[in-house]
Every structure is written in C-alpha cells, then in structure tokens.
Amino acid sequence: MHLGLAFKMRDAQTESAPIGTDRMPQAIIAVENGSKSEWQHSALAETDTYHFGATDETVAAVVFNGTYFVIAGFFNVLWRHAVRGGLLDSATQESAAAISRQYAVGPISYLICLGLTWISVPASLILNIALAFFFALPPKERSTRDRA
C-alpha cells in the first residue's frame, strides 16, 4: 500500500464552492493498492476552514497588526539595551530620553490596533497610518524648566 498527497484545482461551476471563488485548491490523498489507485478527498485540507469565521481582510489585518506589535516590542528591547549599555554616541545620548518616551507608546499602540481590528479593519488601518506619522515626527525635547 502506498500513500501520496496531490493537489488539484476544482471548478466552482462544476462543484459546490464558496461564492466568489473560481478555482480552489483541494488536497487529494492517493491510496494505491497494487495497480488500482483510489483518490479520496481530504476534508482536513480545506483552505477556507482555518479562518474561524473571520473574513479574509480581518485575518490579513490581524497578521499585519500582530507583526507591527512584535516589531515594536523587540525594537523597544533593543533600544533600551542600547541606551542603558551606553552604546549610543554622545549626540544621540542627549536626546535618548525623548526618543525613549516617544517609542515607549509603540507596543501598546499597536496592541490597540490589533484589538481594533476585530471591531473595524478600516479604523485599525487609519490608526496605523496615524502612528506612522507620529513616529516619523521627531520627538519633542523637554526643556530644563519642564524637568524641574
């Protein structure tokens, strides 16, 4: 007995398929008994069952925002290591506190975007654009009067 896995495309017009799909990949398991091949459809390989009821745009936005959240977290860890370890030049060291304050809101902001994705994908993307502008602007340095 020999087992194999193959993929074929099925036509939406000839078989039942979700509305709006012309062709959908389907996994097929081949079981060979001697000279006879039997093909069986694998229900586990259905591509549209892994979304847990979410739309494609929601899944894409969750991946997008989740990636930004992870990047922001790792960037903050790296930045704090550079600041505390004295790895910055003297000119950057002077503005490090302002940069640290600005970038400290990154992970929580992207986590909010991630949560907002489940409510409204467009609102989540608009907030991402606003955050991009926020982080593109130079941080405001506090004057010596504000520090006292």
Q: Determine how many CB atoms are found less than 10 A away from the CB of residue 23.
A: 12
Residue 48 is predicted with a pLDDT of 46
Are 11 and 61 found together in one domain?
no
CA–CA dist 96, 128 (Å, integer) = 24
Residue 83 is predicted with a pLDDT of 92
Residue 72 is predicted with a pLDDT of 95
Residue with tokens 């390989």: 45
Over the chain (148 residues), the average pLDDT of each successive run of 10 is: 46 49 48 50 46 78 96 95 90 86 93 95 96 90 58
The three-state secondary structure class of 40 is strand
Asked if the structure places residue 144 within a domain, the reply is no
Are 68 and 45 found together in one domain?
no
- Overall number of domains in the chain: 2
Q: Are 57 and 121 in contact (CB under 8 A)?
A: yes
CA 1 to chain centre: 42
- pTM beyond cutoff 0.75: no
Residue 143 is predicted with a pLDDT of 60
Are 69 and 108 found together in one domain?
yes
Asked if the structure places residue 145 within a domain, the reply is no
Q: Cα-flanking dihedrals φ and ψ of residue 24, to 5°?
A: -135, 130
**Residue 11 contacts by C-beta under 8 Å, 6 or more apart in sequence?**
17, 22, 23
Are 74 and 130 found together in one domain?
yes
Helix axes 56-84, 121-136, angle to 10 degrees: 30
Q: Domain range spanning residue 12? A: 2-49
DSSP state of 86: T
Residue 47 is predicted with a pLDDT of 47
Asked if the structure places residue 129 within a domain, the reply is yes
Q: How far is CA 102 from CA 2, 109, 129, in A?
A: 60, 11, 16
